Structure 1
């Protein structure tokens, strides 16, 4: 368990050891989440020379809610310090900067898989597949350490598919231990759904669209939330104790309150109680 706790900390973004890669490599379009358009590979105009965001403490007020939701799962510091050996894209423009922008999204996907695999290894009910999960975790970690050219050419969807087989087994084993009827809402369109106080214990909500759904006071204990779209989902006073495969970006995208009960793997967003 201790190893998993240490790994989780390594899978959290450390902007102090990153070259602002999410502010450079990723594109965004003018919308409710971003105040203007930015193509992939171009530094955001708010990115300072020290790789810090010039409006970090005012992102939501300035129209950049999307930035407050994003998390790289620690991929930024790995690409900056390990993959490219601490060589800044600012001091090495051209091919180096382009390759760094290509590699970052690849490593970010791999680190997200590491997050799920690490969590799966903490679930007692998944013990029958723990050996396979550990092998998959070790293999995924090996892939994150490939050279830039190898990472850029990596078939991430194929690897993700292999890992997903194990995550599905993990989900089935874990949810089987939840009492009562376990609802299957995998991939369901629940946008704007009125689910206030709903009993969703042990539910399969993998990939479900819950945008702007009302889950006030809902019971989501032991639910599988991998890939569920929780943008603007109201989780006020909801109970997500024991919910698994829930990530920080999902929580950041939702709305909640001091009464919302969360798994230990994620932290309560500041904006939930700050009125932002």
Structure 2
């Protein structure tokens, strides 16, 4: 579930659109290669994306869907060599990325002993989706990721409830809350339900976010310096990449400390 750009055809640099903003220096339409994409599918400004006006690129994560589509679904045949496959390939990539995200959440849930009661259902869902990611392009192009998300979400909710129930004391419930810019420095949020919360530019310095449910929480420009996110539920690399942190920020073992921290 980790991106391997060396084995991808630069799919995120072509398939996805972006708009000139604080995250991207220029407009780009979906299906149009970024002008920084090189012939070998590498990025010409990879080492200086943020300084060049492309911080949005440094926060994106495909959960390994790029190399799965490039090397398995299309068996190493890229969209430049076979331009007739380009449109389908980009559609498949978008769907594959969402399936891989679900696999990330399911793997997290299966690593939680406290959720043992739902492990059989979680394993069945994981195996079903994993098998689908290996399907031919024609089948993947017709996949509706929302349908699979709807099937998986109740299992993830139950996992969250079981895991957070192990945390002593009263847990905060702020699911979907607008906490943009909130002053939460040093806040005790262990075991909190912050699923889908808007934490844009929030001050979370030295906050305790252990075992908090962070699925879909928006951490753009949130200050996580010194925060403890050990064992937080359903946290992704993209969320971490979008935030600000420091050497004292504690992350789950599966996630890497962003270079821009």
1:39-50 superposed matches below 5 A: 39-50=29-40
CA distance in 2, matches of 1:68, 1:155: 27
Q: Using the TM superposition, give the Cα deviation of residue 262 of structure 1 relative to its aligned residue in structure 2, in angstroms.
A: 1.0
Which whole-Å CA distance do the structure 1 matches of 2:75 and 2:3 have between them? 18
Q: Which residue of 2 aligns with 1:70?
A: 60
Aligned counterparts of 1:47 and 1:253: Cα–Cα separation in 2 = 22
Q: CA deviation at 1:143?
A: 1.3
Gap regions ≥5 residues in structure 2: none
Alpha-carbon distance in structure 1 between the residues aligned to 2:90 and 2:232: 34
Displaced runs of 4 or more, over 2 A:
none
State how far apart, in whole Å, the 1-side matches of 2:51 and 2:143 are.
38
**Cα distance, 1:258 vs. partner?**
0.7
Once the two structures are superposed, the pairs formed by residues 61-140 of structure 1 within 5 Å of their partners are: 61-93=51-83, 95-140=84-129
Q: Specify the alignment match of 1:167 in structure 2.
A: 156
* 1:190 corresponding residue in structure 2: 179
C-alpha deviation, 1:57, in angstroms: 0.3
Q: How far did 1:68 drift?
A: 0.4
The C-alpha deviation readout for 1:88-120, integer Å capped at 9, x for no partner, is 111111x30111111101000000000000111
What is the 5 A alignment of 1:1-276? 11-93=1-83, 95-272=84-261
Cα distance, 1:177 vs. partner?
Answer: 0.3
Q: How many Å apart are 1:147 and its aligned residue?
A: 1.6
- State the Cα distance separating 1:168 from its structure 2 match: 0.4
Please state how far the C-alpha of 1:210 moved relative to its aligned partner.
Answer: 0.3
Shift of 1:263: 1.1
TM-score, with length taken from structure 2: 0.99
The TM-score with structure 1 as length reference comes to: 0.93
**Aligned partners of 1:222, 1:176: CA distance in 2, in Å?**
10
Task: Report the CA distance between 1:181 and its aligned residue.
Answer: 1.1
Q: 5+ unaligned residues in a row in structure 1: which ranges? A: 1-10
